[in-house]
Structures are given as C-alpha cells and as structure tokens.
C-alpha cells in the first residue's frame, strides 16, 4: 500500500520467507556490504541466525556488536519493545532489518510498525527457494503460510536460481505473479542483491560508478555450481530533476506497474520550493523532507527490458535521463 509522509522516521525492512529460503545469507550479504551504513538486525532467536564470525566484535546479553557500527539484537516475544529500544539508542542505526522466522507472516510485522510513529516500513522482502517453492506450496501444512508470505511482499527474491533451468524460473515467476501481481520478482543466487534494493541506502551519483547490482556474484565458499542459465540483466538509470515537480505524483508514477521499477531513490524540489526525498520499493512509495545540501536527481533500478521509465517521465517537465 502506498504511503506518503512528511517526516523522516527510521526505515525498517522486513525479510521473510520459509525455512531454508536464504534469509540468513541475505542478511550476511547486507552486513558484508554495508559500506559504513549502520544496520540493526533484529531476530527472534540468535540460534536461528548464523552471522559470519568475521563480522562479530563482541556479544553482551541479547546484543551482538558487529563491525562497522552494526548490531544484531534478539527480540524474543516482544518485537515492539526491541524496536523502541533500538530507536532510543544514543547513536541509532541508519536502518533496521527484521528477520522474521520461517513460519511468520512478514505482513503482520509490517502492520505492527504502524503503531510506532518513529519508524516507517521501508519494504517487505520475501525470499523463496525457487527449486522447492511450488512443491512446498502444495503441502497442506505449508501452503497457506508460504502463499501469505508471498502475498505480503513488495519484492520477491527467487533464490537458488542456479539449481534450476531458465524455463523453470520463468514458470515459477509466472506462478508467483498469480499470487502477488503487485510484487517485483527477482531471481538470485546466494541471496546476492544490491543493498540499495533492500535498504534505504543513499544513491551514488558518481558519473563513472558501476551498476550497484551484482546479482550473480558467488561467495568464495560457494559449493554449488552456477549454471549461468539464470543470469538476469539489471539496469541502473539516473534521472536529472531540473525543474520543480509534484513529488507525490512522480513517486506514484515510478511505483506503478507500468513503470516496473524495483527501487528508486533521490531528491526533487516541489512547486513550493521544498526539497523532498522520494523512495520507491516495488509499488510502495514514500515522500519525506530531504536533508539539507542535497542535489536533485534520482537513481532507479530495474530488470532490463521490464520497465518503461522513458514513457513515465515523459509526463514530467524537467525530469529526464541524465
């Protein structure tokens, strides 16, 4: 559901998915590529999350201190209290990631965030093992949970894509869209996806930067073979914003099915002269007050050939591909 706010609460991403889908792998990837971003990872039980040992600096009670100013906290049965404690830290994190249990419904967690004014739901990312997803979805004990996890998502990550052929990925993608037609579907291996797709990461604006997506990179300790039959091509486009624009209207357009973006973030000036931050995660969007001193422009990420940004921005004066 779209959201439109004017404050800057702490962004929260909920990561869901059934057991073995790759949630821990994704979290370790986010931490290993935080690049100075301070992340707070909230988990129900430390025993369910195997954080890379090289990232751990110390542990005291229910808090693990990680490298780069990141932390991992166990929330047990009181997630709301853990979120409030995180927000009250002397040096609060830049972003909170909640790793839900394999049988939890990420949408319920996202709904609970609406009770905490100091936080906002950045997005729900549901991981699924593409090689077993449809089989599990026919199990009478698992089907309802798995379908609801998929239905809750803004972005569905079809993980372990190297274990199946391209036609199977296409078939599962088609099936998933019958459950959640609004979500963006991303095939990956080893849950490797650019942090900017999942987190409220500041977009880079260097003219010679490389694409921030590297979805087929394989960790050094990988034991599976990459069949290269699942390779997905992603594209990053930078938009210049040289004239004032209706921020909410632009955000709505970028989050539309017609546009088909995975992620967008940037800064624009509205008709009143105020600077706004635009955030898009799948079909979810938010407009907040921008920090001072930022340059106008946006970074957009999508799957190559599956988005129509040129047609979208044609309706906005002053918005063009940089």
pLDDT value, residue 304: 66
Q: How far apart are CA 95 and CA 113, in angstroms?
A: 14
**Residues 40 and 86: beta-carbon distance below 8 Å:** yes
Q: Which of 41-55, 60-74, 204-218 has the lowest mean pLDDT?
A: 204-218
Task: List the one residue out of 52, 44, 6 whose CA is nearest residue 219.
Answer: 52
Structure tokens belonging to residue 207: 């003219």
pLDDT of residue 209: 38
Whether the Cβ atoms of residue 158 and residue 192 lie closer than 8 Å to each other: no
Q: From CA 182, how far away is CA 197, in angstroms rounded?
A: 16
Closest to 271 (Cα-Cα) out of 244, 290, 248, 294: 244
Say if strands 39-43 and 71-74 run parallel, antiparallel, or are unpaired.
Answer: parallel
> Considering the chain, what is the average pLDDT of its residues?
83
Instruction: Give the pLDDT confidence of 146-189 residue by residue, as tens digits.
Output: 999 999 999 999 999 999 999 999 999 999 999 999 999 999 99
Residue 139 gets the label, from left (phi > 0), alpha (psi -120 to 50) or beta, of beta
Residue 201 has pLDDT above 80, yes or no: no
The model's pTM is 0.81
Q: Is the confidence at residue 13, as pLDDT, over 90?
A: yes
Contact 302, 234 (CB under 8 A): yes
Instruction: For the chain, give every domain's residue range.
Output: 10-198, 234-321
CATH 3.30.1220.10 matches 234-321: yes
Residue with tokens 């698992």: 142
Maximum CA extent, the chain: 56
Distance between CA atoms of residues 317 and 322, nearest Å:
14
User: Tokens 């001072």 identify what position?
Assistant: 292
**What is the dotted CATH code of the domain comprising 10-198?**
3.40.50.300
Q: How far apart are CA 322 and CA 235, in angstroms?
A: 14
Contacts of 83 (CB under 8 A, 6+ apart): 12, 42, 75, 96, 113, 116, 119
Looking at mean pLDDT, say which of 35-39, 111-115, 223-227, 257-261 comes out highest.
Answer: 35-39
């Amino acid at each position: 559901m779209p959201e439109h706010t004017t404050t800057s609460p702490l962004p929260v991403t909920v990561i869901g998915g059934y057991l073995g889908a790759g949630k821990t792998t994704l979290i370790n990837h986010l931490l290993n590529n935080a690049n100075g971003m301070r992340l707070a990872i909230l988990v129900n039980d430390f025993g369910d999350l195997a954080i890379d040992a090289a990232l751990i600096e110390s542990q005291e009670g229910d808090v693990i201190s990680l490298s780069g100013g990141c932390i991992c906290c166990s929330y047990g049965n009181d997630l709301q209290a853990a979120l409030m404690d995180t927000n009250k830290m002397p040096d609060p994190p830049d972003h909170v990631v909640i790793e839900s249990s394999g049988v939890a419904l990420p949408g319920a967690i996202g709904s609970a965030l609406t009770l905490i004014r100091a936080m906002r739901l950045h997005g729900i990312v549901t991981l699924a093992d593409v090689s077993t997803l449809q089989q599990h979805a026919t199990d009478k004990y698992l089907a309802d949970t798995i379908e609801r996890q998929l239905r809750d998502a803004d972005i569905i990550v079809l993980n372990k894509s190297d274990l199946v052929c391209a036609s199977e990925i296409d078939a599962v993608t088609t099936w998933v869209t019958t459950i959640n037609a609004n979500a963006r579907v991303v095939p990956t291996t080893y849950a490797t996806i650019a942090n900017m797709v999942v987190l409220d990461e500041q977009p880079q604006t260097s003219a010679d930067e490389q694409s921030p997506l590297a979805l087929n990179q394989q960790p050094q300790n990988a034991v599976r073979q990459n069949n290269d039959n699942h390779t997905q091509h992603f594209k990053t486009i930078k938009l210049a914003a040289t004239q004032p624009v209706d921020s909410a209207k632009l955000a709505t357009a970028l989050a539309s099915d017609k546009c088909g973006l995975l992620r967008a973030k940037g800064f624009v000036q509205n008709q009143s002269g105020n600077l706004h931050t635009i955030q898009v995660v799948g079909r979810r969007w938010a407009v907040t007050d921008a920090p001072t001193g930022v340059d106008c422009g946006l970074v957009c990420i999508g799957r190559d050939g599956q988005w129509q940004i040129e047609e979208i921005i044609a309706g906005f004066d002053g918005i063009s591909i940089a």
